[in-house]
A and B are shown apart, each in its own frame.
Chain A
Amino acid sequence: AQSVTQPDIHITVSEGASLELRCNYSYGATPYLFWYVQSPGQGLQLLLKYFSGDTLVQGIKGFEAEFKRSQSSFNLRKPSVHWSDAAEYFCAVATYYNQGGKLIFGQGTELSVKP
């Protein structure tokens, strides 16, 4: 069965520092991969997604993610974090054979930003 693991439950970074959030998936073929952000009191917003092609994808708000098949990973990065980036981040996978595109989510990583 497909699964998604986000090893870090909570991460704290200083404003202006770089950020990397880890995501590992389990699936036999190339999955469709997504990163969503959930800010307090708001719904989930898509940051970026990967289906095929260039393994480095750019998203909104200055985020990027890199798909590494050999490591079954899809880590999210940002070169310089802003205080407004404090939120919960979810990695998710949908599969080609998964009829209807239902998403399987990781448990989330909560990001705190120090001034």
Chain B
Amino acid sequence: GAGVSQSPSNKVTEKGKDVELRCDPISGHTALYWYRQRLGQGLEFLIYFQGNSAPDKSGLPSDRFSAERTGESVSTLTIQRTQQEDSAVYLCASSTSGRSTDTQYFGPGTRLTVL
């Protein structure tokens, strides 16, 4: 079946603009995660959705970052008033139920460049 998809694959924006990044999880996966990968660094957890539960936003770096998820489907990560330090690859992952033992399946990522 189809894997996790993300769009756009690349996004170049000017400092101060807002951007929206989209993630389509694997069908039937109730858990969805967003991570950020800065150049030369590992992945940093941003936010986690599980079913209809309140999301775990503990990894969001500032209030300029927000995310929504429609039911158990698409998620959108929004960055307002982008800054140059927001330049990174944003990765989305999904898993069947959000248990710690579940495999997370990653999308190809969105490369964000803030000029």
Q: Which residues of A contact B (CB under 8 A)?
A: 4, 6, 32, 36, 41-46, 49, 51, 90, 92, 94-96, 98-108
A-B contact pairs, 15 of them (CB 8 A): A36-B106, A42-B108, A43-B91, A43-B106, A43-B108, A44-B93, A46-B103, A100-B31, A100-B56, A101-B98, A103-B33, A104-B45, A105-B35, A106-B42, A108-B42
Contact of B42 among A42, A94, A102, A107 (CB under 8 A): A107
* Shortest CB distance A26–B (Å): 14
* Shortest CB distance A108–B (Å): 5
Q: A43-B109, A44-B91, A44-B106 are in contact. Are A102 and B48 (CB under 8 A)?
A: yes
Question: What is the bound-complex CA distance between A55 and B48, given in angstroms?
Answer: 29
Categorize the interface residue count of chain B.
20 to 34
Interface centre among B44, B91, B99 (most CB of A within 10 A): B99
Q: Which residues of B contact A4 (CB under 8 A)?
A: 42
Question: What is the bound-complex CA distance between A6 and B48, given in angstroms?
Answer: 25
Question: What is the bound-complex CA distance between A82 and B113, given in angstroms?
Answer: 33
User: Is B25 interfacial (CB 8 A cutoff)?
Assistant: no
Q: Which residues of A contact B43 (CB under 8 A)?
A: 44, 90, 92, 103, 105
* Shortest CB distance A27–B (Å): 12
Question: What is the bound-complex CA distance between A94 and B101, given in angstroms?
Answer: 8
Report the nearest B residue to A99, measured CB to CB: B56
Chain B 48-64 interface mask (CB, 8 Å, partner A; 1/0): 10100000100100000
* Shortest CB distance A48–B (Å): 10
User: Is B18 interfacial (CB 8 A cutoff)?
Assistant: no
Report the nearest B residue to A45, measured CB to CB: B106
Q: Which residues of A contact B77 (CB under 8 A)?
A: none
Q: Which residues of B contact A42 (CB under 8 A)?
A: 108
* Shortest CB distance A98–B (Å): 6
Do A101 and B95 have beta carbons less than 8 Å apart? yes
Chain B 1-26 interface mask (CB, 8 Å, partner A; 1/0): 00110000000000000000000000
User: Is B70 interfacial (CB 8 A cutoff)?
Assistant: no
Do A101 and B42 have beta carbons less than 8 Å apart? no
